[in-house]
Amino acid sequence: MHAVADTADSKEQGIGLMSVGLIGLLDDIAAIAKMAAASLDDVASQAAKAGTKAAGVVIDDTAVTPNYVIGFASKRELPIVGKIAVGSLRNKLVILLPIAMLLGYFLPAAVTPLLMLGGAFLCYEGAEKVLAAVMPHPAHDHEARLEPIAVDARSVEDEKVASAIKTDFILSAEIMAITLAAIPAGSIWTQALVLALVGVGITVGVYGVVALIVKADDAGLALARYGGGSFIGGAVRWLGRALVRGMPPFLSVLSTIGTAAMVWVGGGIILHGVEKYGPPVVGRTVHAATEAAAHALPSVAGMVEWSVEAAISGVLGLLIGAITIPAVEYGLAPAWKRLRRLRSA
């Protein structure tokens, strides 16, 4: 009997120990879950703050992209936007995110020079568009010397998509660099997750807006055909006609904004690089000009400072673009063609 009682007591003690152990395990799991939730909240908060700092480049990206869709049939507009969006995600997540993490960890000094090269490319793209607007015939000859002219719609579409993805690469690099600079020092995995969240969020936002812009005229046409006879029906048709009539000038203005954005952002990237690596007089001169303008109009000092710096960046971007056009046409483009011929031989 005593043996049976001792066995029962031992079982109860064992069950009690298991219960205590299970409760402890559950407490540990709950603590880990709380830490994970706090970590996710921290990542989301960092992503939101970093994305806000990159807002200027996001606006530029949104303004630039519709240029690549203008002129295509309506049924091809959304597929083209989709191709560019997929290319943009690939730029950010597959190429730029690993490069940003590696450079930030092993070679942070190389980030700014690489961004300056990207800024020069943006200046080149923007200056090309300015040349096409001011002197269309020389611009057409310049493009023909760079690449053979596409003869079918598919080739034109592929070239436009490729050109858009190249431009997006530079803007995406700037977005990722700004994001990386805005993330506080910490775990490399946290930084990578923040970069990924910002990259995906910005891409979805930008190309969602672009899709709405390029399809607004089709939506207006559908509204203009609305058959209702009431006051609401008339208002719907009026709205549709306004959209149809307003989209061409709106896209023209957006194209101008996109070109200006390329020149401004590219020039700004190079200007900040020159301020960092070049003679100190450059930075002092720019800051003196912005401060003088702000003192002249103190009620709108912040806006004036931004406008003056943007104007200086734009002028610098145009100058750099004007220099790079002949450099690309007579130097880089022929060398690239020879390299392609050697590879295909």
Asked if pLDDT for residue 24 goes beyond 60, the answer is: no
Higher pLDDT, 129 or 153: 129
Higher pLDDT, 230 or 60: 230
Task: Name the token pair of 170.
Answer: 């530079």
DSSP 43-99: HHHHHHHHHHHTHHHHHHHHHHGGGGTTTS-HHHHHHHHHHHHHHHHIIIIIIIHHH
Q: How far apart are CA 66 and CA 83, in angstroms?
A: 13
**Strand (E) or helix (H) holding 150:** none
Quote the percentage of the chain above a pLDDT of 70.
72
Interval 214-226: pLDDT, tens: 888 788 888 888 7
Task: Name the token pair of 79.
Answer: 């597929």
Helix, strand or coil, per DSSP, at residue 184: coil
- The band of 86, judged by pLDDT with boundaries at 50, 70 and 90, is very high
- The band of 87, judged by pLDDT with boundaries at 50, 70 and 90, is very high
Interval 270-327: pLDDT, tens: 888 888 888 888 888 888 998 898 888 888 888 888 888 889 999 999 999 999 888 8
Q: At what angle do helices 153-182 and 74-89 cross, to 10 degrees?
A: 40
pLDDT number for residue 25: 43
Asked if pLDDT for residue 201 goes beyond 50, the answer is: yes
- The band of 328, judged by pLDDT with boundaries at 50, 70 and 90, is confident
- The band of 90, judged by pLDDT with boundaries at 50, 70 and 90, is very high
Q: How much is the mean pLDDT over the chain?
A: 75
Asked if pLDDT for residue 142 goes beyond 70, the answer is: no
Asked if pLDDT for residue 149 goes beyond 60, the answer is: no
Tell me how far CA of residue 158 lies from CA of 68, 78, 135, 155, 262, in angstroms. Answer: 11, 14, 26, 5, 21
Task: Give every CB contact of residue 147 below 8 A, 6+ residues apart in sequence.
Answer: 159
pLDDT number for residue 240: 86
Asked if pLDDT for residue 160 goes beyond 60, the answer is: yes
Lowest mean pLDDT among 167-171, 185-189, 263-267: 185-189
Higher pLDDT, 30 or 289: 289
Interval 236-245: pLDDT, tens: 888 888 888 8
pLDDT number for residue 345: 64
pLDDT number for residue 19: 45
Lowest mean pLDDT among 50-59, 96-105, 179-188, 246-255: 50-59
Q: How far apart are CA 223 and CA 343, in angstroms?
A: 53
- The band of 4, judged by pLDDT with boundaries at 50, 70 and 90, is very low
Average pLDDT over residues 201-228: 83
Q: How far apart are CA 59 and CA 254, in angstroms?
A: 11
Asked if pLDDT for residue 53 goes beyond 50, the answer is: no
Task: Give every CB contact of residue 203 below 8 A, 6+ residues apart in sequence.
Answer: 85, 88, 89, 92
Interval 161-178: pLDDT, tens: 888 888 888 778 877 877
- The band of 199, judged by pLDDT with boundaries at 50, 70 and 90, is confident
